[in-house]
Structure 1
Amino acid sequence: MNKVKRIRISLPVLILGLSPIIIAFTMIGSILYGAKDIGWSTVLDAFFQFDSGNVDHQIVMYSRLPRVIGALLIGAFLAISGAIMQGMTRNYLASPSIMGVSDGSVFAITFCMIFIPNASPLDMIVYSLVGSAVAVGIVLGFMSLLPNGMSPVRMAIIGTIIGTFLSSISAAMASYFQVSQNISFWYNARLHQIDPNLIKLAIPFALVGIGLALLISKSITVLSLGHEVSVSLGQKNVFVKVVAIISVVILTGISVALAGNIGFVGLIIPHITRFLVGFDYRLIISCAGVIGAIFLALSDILSRFLNHPFETPIGVVTALIGVPFFLYLIRKRGGMKYAS
């Protein structure tokens, strides 16, 4: 028993300690391989002797480097958001994609592109955050009104319905105002079109969202034990939930603003992380961010080879992994909240 406990304690340290090395190799692989393979010497030249007239250098610096950085950031943001949502609601099916949060962001961006066509990248981020907040409010509102609305399967159904509704309205608006081609980026989550300037603008928002998540990580652990237990320990649950929702809104909103709607990362990664490190959300949030970043970056590399030389949308790759995982959870644990 003591041996098992020592392994569990050391595993988070191992994950966080090895993560820089794994991320570095993932970045190298993402930069080297794609529709066009680029040699290692060319990559080094692009970094240290950049030639604006060299097409390979442009691909490295303006496409593949922002792409892998974006994938790492978005994977981390969505995984942390999913971990917070699952801990806050004690619902193993909660995630930004299942709960309609991502669809709310896409809806807001569609609205922005139609009625504010000259909006700046910062405006897009702000509108995406607002859309996330509205979607969370609608889903939580319906859950509070319906009997047993907080049960895992019912919560997933409500979130899926609201998300589908918002997505359908977005598609209808885009078609009616003839901006479907412009908005397709946010539906298909094409990382290769990510805007490097948008990444820079998103960093301050991300720091706030991650900072809030780490700030309440201990409180999320207490909250995941159950409402009665957390109240008996003197925790202010309303405050914790408000801060948690703000963190989820920020991280999900900037993820959608960066690369569109990417599903299942926030569902899969928190489960894997809990299995590896236990139920302490101080460890779950940190490790989920790292694992989510690596997962999405590797999925992006895989998407380039499924139909080579054509690229498969990253959402297809995450869905191929996420849908069976989702069905497995419903089959094995349908109607049950996870026990801490």
Structure 2
Amino acid sequence: MRTAAPDDADRRRPVPAILALLLAGAAVLVLAAALSVAFGTRVVGWNDLVSAFTTDADGIAEAAVRQRIPRTLLAMLVGASLGVAGAVLQGLTRNPLADPMILGVTPGASLAVVSGIAFFGLSTATGYIWVAITGAALASAFVYGIGSLGRGGPTPLKLALSGAATTAAFTSLISAILLPRVDVLNSFRFWQVGGVGGATYTKLGQVLPFLIVGALICIACSRGLNSLALGDELATGLGERVMVIRVAAFVGAVTLCGAATAVAGPIAFVGLVVPHVCRLLIGVDHRWLLPSAAMVGALLLTVADVVGRVVARPSEIEVGIVTAIIGAPFFIYVVRKQKVRAL
């Protein structure tokens, strides 16, 4: 793996420019949230939006807006979590192909949840979250261990290949568990695709503490991730506790991935696309990269959810399908451009 490029410092934008970009992104995110509560099976107007938030009117339009609010909030939270987790995983592995889905983290969480439901009667959202986090941690450790075997250690190519193989194996196991159990299959066949349509305020309240903890851990490691980009030896020379940073950042990323997967199902490519976009706009400094990844991830998933509802009206396309359509070509582009080298 290579260390940070000599011109990495030049890729760090001035703080005023970064703040301007973040403010612009926040404005776009607010607009996307407004579109999310306005568009669906029934399109509501501006007056209906204002009425739903400022009055007690209980018309059809106002009821539709109020039902879409938790869905919009969940899309923003899940998108932000996956964006931050992807940026942290890419920073930890110095692998431009690192993504919770590609590295087997999200499929590990999915397998753990489905196994808990099928074999242990798991039925609570909090239980899903704990089990998903555990499954994500075990899966990511397994992928990293397999990718570390042989000469050269955990190279980007070996990690990507071991993650792809693990994802395929976990997906097959999930199908093997679900197919003989019609009740479990019917309950989770849409969850497997990845979506935010089942959002409720109760579910938001249960997952929010996990997402906050995971995000705070990742942000606390942002300075250390900058040092790791220079290589372990140089980071140690700068006074960083490399192993502590790696473990803490890993815990934060796994917590975000596991909790997001538990409430929204496995959603692919958000963690891959978002960090690359943010590096182009913000630069490589993780102190700014992680907040921007949260915002862009929230924006991407919110817009994807709106697109899925609009193009298939009166039905809808789950957000996991939309992100896969966007992310698959981007993945091919990254592979061709980066030639599977480290960051």
Structural RMSD (CA): 1.9
What is aligned with 1:254?
259
Does 2:307 correspond to 1:305? no
What is the identity, as a one-letter code, of the residue corresponding to 2:195? R
Contact kept in structure 2, 1:12 and 1:287, CA below 8 Å: no
Question: What is the CA distance between 1:310 and its match in structure 2?
Answer: 2.4
Q: 2:284 aligns with which of 279, 282, 285?
A: 279
The Cα of 1:219 is off from its aligned counterpart by: 0.3
Deviations 1:15-55 (A, max 9, x none): 22234322221111111112211223333333333456x44
Counterpart for residue 28 of structure 1? 34
The correspondence for 2:270, drawn from 265, 270, 273, is: 265
TM-aligned CA deviation for residue 279 of structure 1 = 1.4
- Which consecutive residues of structure 2, in runs of 5 or more, have no partner in the other structure? 1-9
Q: Alignment partner for residue 103 of structure 1, among 103, 107, 110?
A: 107
Counterpart contact for 2:13–2:282, Cα < 8 Å? no
Is structure 2 residue 250 aligned with structure 1 residue 245? Answer: yes
State the one-letter code of the partner of 2:120. Answer: I
- Report the more deviating stretch, 103-112 or 117-126: 117-126
State the match for 2:336 in structure 1: 331
Q: Return the letter of the residue paired with 2:252.
A: S
User: 1:312, CA displacement in angstroms?
Assistant: 1.5
Q: Relative to 1, partners in 2 of residues 1:51 and 1:175: Cα closer, same or farther, differing over 3 Å? A: farther
| 1:118 to partner: Cα distance | 5.3
How big is the shift at 1:88?
0.8
Structure 2 matches for 1:71-110, cutoff 5 A? 71-110=75-114
How does 1:108-123 map onto structure 2 within 5 Å? 108-117=112-121, 119-123=123-127
Give 1:84 deviation, angstroms: 0.4
Opposite residue 94 of structure 2, the aligned amino acid is R
Corresponding residue number in structure 1 for 2:136? 132
CA distance in 2, matches of 1:7, 1:213: 21
Tell me if structure 1 keeps the 8 A contact 2:26–2:295. Answer: no
- Counterparts of 1:192-203 in structure 2 under 5 Å? 192-203=197-208
Structure 1: segments with no counterpart, 5+ residues: none
One-letter code aligned to 2:169: F
Correspondence for 2:166 = 162
The amino acid of 2:23's aligned partner reads G
With the length of structure 1 as denominator, give the TM-score of the two structures.
Answer: 0.92
TM-score w.r.t. length of structure 2: 0.91
Q: Distance in 1 between matches of 2:289 and 2:317?
A: 30
Preserved contact between residue 185 and residue 259 of structure 1 (Cα < 8 Å): no
Q: Distance in 2 between matches of 1:149 and 1:296?
A: 34
User: Match of 2:311, SS?
Assistant: coil
Cα distance in 2 between the residues matched to 1:144 and 1:19: 38
Letter in structure 2 aligned against 1:40: W
Q: Secondary structure at the match of 1:193?
A: coil
Whether 1:43 and 2:22 are equivalent positions in the alignment is: no
CA deviation after TM superposition for structure 1 residue 328, in Å: 1.1
Deviation at 1:8, TM superposition (A): 4.2
CA–CA distance in structure 2, aligned partners of residues 50 and 19 of structure 1? 32
Task: Flag as ranges the 4+ runs of structure 1 deviating above 4 A.
Answer: 4-8
Give the SS at the match of 2:152. Answer: coil
Of 297, 303, 327, the residue aligned with 1:322 is 327
Question: 8 Å contact 1:106–1:186 — kept in the other structure?
Answer: no
Match of 2:151 in 1: 147
